[in-house]
Chain A
Amino acid sequence: MKNAAFVYSQEQQTYKFSSDHPFNQKRLDLTFDLLTKSDAINPEDIIAPRMATDEELLLIHEKDYIEAVKLAGKGELKTSIATNYGIGTDDTPMFANMHEAASLLVGGTLTAVDLVMQGKYLHACNLSGGLHHGFKGRASGFCIYNDSSIAIEYMRKNYNARVLYVDTDAHHGDGVQWAFYDNDDVCTLSIHETGRFLFPGTGNVNERGSGKGYGYSVNIPVDPFTEDESWLDAYRKSLREVAEFFKPDVIITQNGADSHFFDPLTHLCSTMEIYRQIPKLAHEIAHEFCGGKWIAVGGGGYDIWRVVPRAWSLVWLEMSDNQIGTGLIPEAWLAKWQKESPVQLSETWEDIPPVYPEIPRKKEITEKNFLTVEKALSHIRNEVAKKKAQLVEE
């Protein structure tokens, strides 16, 4: 079995709303080039994505919605109808061949899934995926088809797997959560900026799932201006406890890179440090609980110059057990992209402080987040305590 596969092709660039839209897949090229120039990617590790079939899209999405996306891609969908499907909006405008472009991103995630679930590779990543806001019958927040939801349903159906979905995007992973809200063999864990201020507005601690899925949705909404330490505390505690409680067969991580201070859409204050730690723990958990089965997808990330290439490269470096990713960024990469970048690129893998001015209410924010984590994990802790008590009685 090979170690790690990198699902990637130039065609992933076709998912493009417009030239000034914040969701910009150029970040995939920037990441790929950074890895290439760091000698961190082997041509034989690169696997081209396949297209998802309509049948696969139907695992999650409704037929009329898929038809609407197809029509929109041909310029044949009326604006009045498009609005009902969440397309043609400021967030998710229509563009030519949008159905094909979105199906390719889904297909990329399914390619990664098959490589891992068929035992060809231990881990695989498709950084073009992670479109976690897509709903059954509606596009939302830059997402047309929800590749992660489709991949999870695909793994349940074809591989009979219990799936742990971990979402570290700054926005709540609402689409995936609602798709499996009443399901007890999919567990979703999302750490995000509180919906009180940030899109989509959901992801409160009390969203715990319903029916037999109760307890299998875990949400940790952190306060705006949360910094590394407090964020990582939430991540480490929750991922470990959730994995121990749920005992997954496979873990799929959504690696949105928009919690960084530089990200223009969110209000969190992380640095590159969390993007080093996120895949590290995910990797550890995958080996400890899932025999190594780990699929990673991308997600948000709107500072495509300073944040996303480094953050996503670190996902691959961790996955492929590569120790570089520290110290200086290859000069060839900086030389190539600095001309195009509107901002000064970072010359090191790490962020060198101070990246931002001191946060005035750090102590209160840290305390609030601590309490949020306690609340979010209370149900799991109670269940574990109950089980222990039962064992003692027996």
Chain B
Amino acid sequence: MIVEQIMKQNIIKIKISTTIKEAIDLMDKNRIRHLPVVNQNDELIGIISDRDLRDAKPSIFDTEEHLEYLSNTVSEIMISDVITAHPLDFVEDVSSLFYEHHIGCLPIEEGGKFVGIISETDVLHTLVQLVGAHQPSSQIEVLVENVAGMLAEIAIIIKKRNVNIISVLVYPAKEIGYKVLVFRIQSMDPRGVISDIEKEGYKILWPNLPEMTK
């Protein structure tokens, strides 16, 4: 999946002359946590987060004092050294940027212009969709050797039953040299598929706990 497919394009942007008060109001009203700052050519020149604004405004204990802080412009507090991504980047790749740089959002630039934004929340939501099921399905986990072609082998067994696969995950098993394949298949009764997989000599991790064989 590429960034373009999940980025938000209808974005509230601000100018360098926007005041801190205006920025705070915009965030509150739209329930967002980042505001990109652009020039008249729609080029990204900075970004501010709700945290930057919190640092810049008077303390909640100073209800009447220092209110003049709010009339400063965002140019004084915005971060201008912004990490950005491209619409054709892979979601999987840019996800690690959030983790590496401890950031909450990633502006997207194309041809030098600001075109959209993705936030941590968007990525998390996408991840849930990628691994989870939004169609009715049952989960099966298979332990396989870490060699080429295992996913195809199991998929062929499922195909023979004419059962649709909704999603697949591959992750390392506890045992070295093995992997776990997690399938969500579109069936309420996965017993047929499970017994086919077992007949081919594979180990089913779920549903099957040794002490609970019925």
Please name the residue on chain A nearest to B191 by beta carbon.
Answer: A264
Q: Contacts A90-B189, A264-B191, A265-B191; is A198 near B138 (CB within 8 Å)?
A: yes
- Are B187 and A91 touching (Cβ within 8 A)? yes
- The CA-CA distance from A199 to B135 in the complex, in Å, is 10
**Does B139 make an interface contact (CB < 8 A)?**
yes
Q: Which of B59-67, B97-105, B204-212 contacts A (4 or more CB under 8 A)?
A: B204-212
Q: Mark B132-167, 1 if CB is under 8 A from A, else 0.
A: 110111110000000000000000000001111000
- The CA-CA distance from A119 to B154 in the complex, in Å, is 57
- The CA-CA distance from A33 to B184 in the complex, in Å, is 39
Report B10-60 residues with CB < 8 Å from chain A CB. none
Closest chain A CB from B121 CB (angstroms): 14
Q: Mark B186-214, 1 if CB is under 8 A from A, else 0.
A: 11111110000000000000110101101
**Does A245 make an interface contact (CB < 8 A)?**
no
- Are A199 and B137 touching (Cβ within 8 A)? yes
- Are A90 and B206 touching (Cβ within 8 A)? no
- Are B189 and A201 touching (Cβ within 8 A)? no
**Among candidates B135, B164, B189, residue contacting A265 with C-beta atoms closer than 8 Å:** B189
Secondary structure dominating the interface of B: loop
- Are B207 and A267 touching (Cβ within 8 A)? yes
Q: Contacts A90-B189, A174-B136; is A261 near B163 (CB within 8 Å)?
A: no
Closest chain B CB from A357 CB (angstroms): 6
**Does A386 make an interface contact (CB < 8 A)?**
no
- The CA-CA distance from A265 to B162 in the complex, in Å, is 19
- Are B188 and A199 touching (Cβ within 8 A)? yes
Please name the residue on chain B nearest to A172 by beta carbon.
Answer: B136
Please name the residue on chain B nearest to A302 by beta carbon.
Answer: B189
- Are A140 and B162 touching (Cβ within 8 A)? no
- Are A201 and B132 touching (Cβ within 8 A)? yes
| Complex interface: chain A residues within 8 A of B133 (CB) | 195, 200-202
Name the residue among B187, B192, B211, B212 with the largest chain A CB count within 10 angstroms: B212
**Among candidates A90, A200, A265, A360, residue contacting B137 with C-beta atoms closer than 8 Å:** A200
| Complex interface: chain A residues within 8 A of B164 (CB) | 89
| Complex interface: chain A residues within 8 A of B136 (CB) | 133, 140-141, 174, 199-202
Q: Mark A196-222, 1 if CB is under 8 A from B, else 0.
A: 111111100000000000000000000
Please name the residue on chain B nearest to A142 by beta carbon.
Answer: B188
| Complex interface: chain B residues within 8 A of A225 (CB) | 209, 212
**Among candidates A141, A195, A224, A359, residue contacting B188 with C-beta atoms closer than 8 Å:** A141
- Are A90 and B132 touching (Cβ within 8 A)? no
- The CA-CA distance from A346 to B52 in the complex, in Å, is 69
**Does A22 make an interface contact (CB < 8 A)?**
yes
Report A68-96 residues with CB < 8 Å from chain B CB. 89-91
- Are B214 and A90 touching (Cβ within 8 A)? no
**Among candidates B139, B192, B207, B212, residue contacting A90 with C-beta atoms closer than 8 Å:** B192
- The CA-CA distance from A133 to B191 in the complex, in Å, is 19
| Complex interface: chain A residues within 8 A of B138 (CB) | 197-199, 201
Please name the residue on chain B nearest to A140 by beta carbon.
Answer: B136
- Are B187 and A90 touching (Cβ within 8 A)? yes
- The CA-CA distance from A95 to B7 in the complex, in Å, is 45
| Complex interface: chain B residues within 8 A of A262 (CB) | 214
Closest chain A CB from B212 CB (angstroms): 7
Report A148-207 residues with CB < 8 Å from chain B CB. 171, 174, 195-202
| Complex interface: chain B residues within 8 A of A198 (CB) | 138-139
**Among candidates A133, A141, A261, A359, residue contacting B214 with C-beta atoms closer than 8 Å:** A261
Q: Contacts A225-B212, A264-B214; is A90 near B162 (CB within 8 Å)?
A: yes
| In the A-B complex, the 7 residue pairs with the closest CB atoms | A200-B136, A201-B133, A141-B188, A199-B138, A199-B188, A140-B136, A91-B188
CB pairs A–B below 8 angstroms (23 shown): A89-B186, A89-B187, A90-B162, A90-B189, A91-B187, A91-B188, A140-B136, A140-B188, A199-B136, A199-B137, A201-B135, A201-B137, A201-B138, A201-B139, A201-B184, A202-B136, A261-B214, A264-B214, A265-B189, A265-B191, A267-B207, A267-B212, A357-B211
**12 further contact pairs, Cβ within 8 A, besides A199-B137, A359-B212:** A22-B189, A90-B163, A91-B186, A171-B188, A199-B188, A200-B133, A224-B207, A261-B214, A262-B214, A264-B191, A356-B212, A357-B211
